[in-house]
Amino acid sequence: MSDTDTLIIDTTARIFQELADPQAVIAAVDDSWKTALWNALEEAGLTLAWVHEDHGGAGAAISDGFDILYVAGRHAVAVPLAETLLGGWLMARGGLQVPPGPMTVAVGSRAEPLRIRGRHLHGCARGVPFPALAEHVACVADGEGGPQVVLVATESADIMPTAGMAGDGIGQMLFNGAPAIAAARAPNTLGLEDVMLMGAAVRAQQMAGALQAVLDLSVSYAQEREAFGRPIAKFQAVQQNLARLAGETAAASAVAASAADTIHHAETFDDAVFLEVAAAKIRCGEAAAEGAAIAHQAHGAMGYTDEHALHRFTLRLFQWRDDFGSESEWAAGLGAMVAANGADRLWPMVASR
C-alpha cells in the first residue's frame, strides 16, 4: 500500500469517525449531521475522487476510490458518497464537467433503456438510490448516434420514492423529456453493461467494509456480554459462529479487492473484468446474508433494537445485495458468458485470475 493510499484511507476514516459515528448518528435528534459530513467529504476531494482535475475532481486513481468506498462501508454511510463517485466516474468517461454536490445514478433496463432525443431524456429508472438527497442524476442513454452520457437535475424527474430497506431512500424516476444539463457521446466501450459492472463492484466493496464492521461489533459484544458468569465469547458455539463470520468477511474482502484491482488495471471491461465483478457481487451477497444472520444470533434481541448500531450495517447489506443486480442475476450472466466462450476457455480463464 502506497503512502497516497494510506493518506486517503486515514482521511476518510477520520471524517467518518468524527462526523458519522454510527452510534452517534442513532442518537442524533435530526439529520443536520449529513450536511456537515458531506461538506467535509467534498472539501477533502473524496466525493469526486474518480474525476480528473480538469473536470472539477480530485484526479485520484481507481484503486483510491475503492479504498474510500471500503471505509464508507465500515461506517454504514447514509449519504450518496458511492453514488456521487460512480456518477463522477461516468461523467468523466464522457469528458464532461462534473458539478459539485451529491449525485445519484439512474440505470434503465435492457428492455426499456433510457433514451435521449434532442437533449431531452426519456424513460424510467427503477431502484435509484438517494433520489431525495441527490441534486443531479447521471446516466447512460441511447442517443440517435449511439450511447450518450447524460446529466440532468433531479428536480426535472418525476420521483416515486420509498424509504428502502435501510431507510436511506430509493425510488423510481420517470424522465418525461427532462432537459439535459450536459450530454456527450459515450466512448465506444461504455454502455449499460459497463455501468452495471462498475456499480456492482462499488456495492461489493461497500459490503466488504460493512461486514468488517459487523465482525468487529460482534466480537466486541461477545467479549462484553456475560452468561452464566463468563463472557459468551468463552463458549465454544459462539466462538465457532464468530470464526464463520470472520471467514465470510475475509472472503468478501478478498473478492471485492480482487475485482477493484482488476478494474484498476483494465483498459476495457472485458471478460476478465466481468468474471471478477460477477464473482465479487455473488460472493459478497452470499457473505452478507450469512454474516448478518450470524451477527444477529450473537447479539440476540439487542441487535434488533433501534439503539444498537448493528442494524445500520445489516439493513444496508441487504439493500446493497440487490443494487446493480442480485446474486442470481450475476450468476446467470456469468454462466451465459462461460457457455458462450466454450469449455476450452473455462480453465485458462479461471487459472489466469
Same domain, yes or no: 221 and 291: yes
Per-residue pLDDT of the chain (353 residues; tens, 9 = 90+): 666 668 888 999 999 999 988 888 888 878 889 999 999 999 999 999 999 888 778 888 999 999 999 999 999 988 999 999 999 999 998 899 898 899 999 998 888 899 999 899 999 999 999 998 999 999 999 988 889 999 999 999 999 988 888 888 899 999 999 999 999 988 876 788 999 999 999 999 999 999 999 999 999 999 999 899 999 999 999 999 999 999 999 999 999 999 999 999 998 899 999 999 999 999 999 999 999 999 999 999 888 888 889 999 999 999 999 999 999 999 999 999 999 999 888 888 888 87
Domain limits at 93?
Answer: 3-185
Domain containing residue 332: CATH number: 1.20.140.10
Same domain, yes or no: 110 and 132: yes
248: CB partners within 8 A, 6+ apart: 211, 286, 287, 290, 291, 294
Q: Please state, in angstroms and as integers, the Cα–Cα distance from residue 328 to each residue in 244, 282, 283, 302, following that order.
A: 23, 8, 11, 32
Same domain, yes or no: 171 and 58: yes
Residue 68 confidence (pLDDT): 96
> Domain count of the chain?
2
Residue 4 confidence (pLDDT): 65
Same domain, yes or no: 211 and 260: yes
Domain end residue (candidates: 163, 185, 207):
185
| DSSP character at residue 228 | T
Say how far apart CA 252 and CA 220 lie, in whole Å. 21
Say how far apart CA 75 and CA 320 lie, in whole Å. 14
Same domain, yes or no: 112 and 22: yes
Which stretches of the chain are assigned E, i.e. beta strand? 103-105, 115-117, 120-129, 136-143, 146-153, 158-162, 170-185, 226-227, 230-231
Q: Are 138 and 144 in contact (CB under 8 A)?
A: no
Same domain, yes or no: 272 and 220: yes
**Number of alpha carbons in the 13 Å side-chain half-sphere of residue 128:** 31
Residue 278 confidence (pLDDT): 97
Domain end residue (candidates: 125, 160, 185):
185
Domain containing residue 140: CATH number: 2.40.110.10
Same domain, yes or no: 289 and 314: yes
Same domain, yes or no: 250 and 175: no
Say how far apart CA 34 and CA 77 lie, in whole Å. 10
Same domain, yes or no: 118 and 208: no
Domain end residue (candidates: 185, 204, 229):
185
Say how far apart CA 274 and CA 330 lie, in whole Å. 9
Give bridge partners of residue 117 from the DSSP assignment. 120
211 three-state secondary structure? helix
Same domain, yes or no: 253 and 223: yes
Say how far apart CA 47 and CA 82 lie, in whole Å. 8
From the centroid of its chain, how far is CA 257? 13
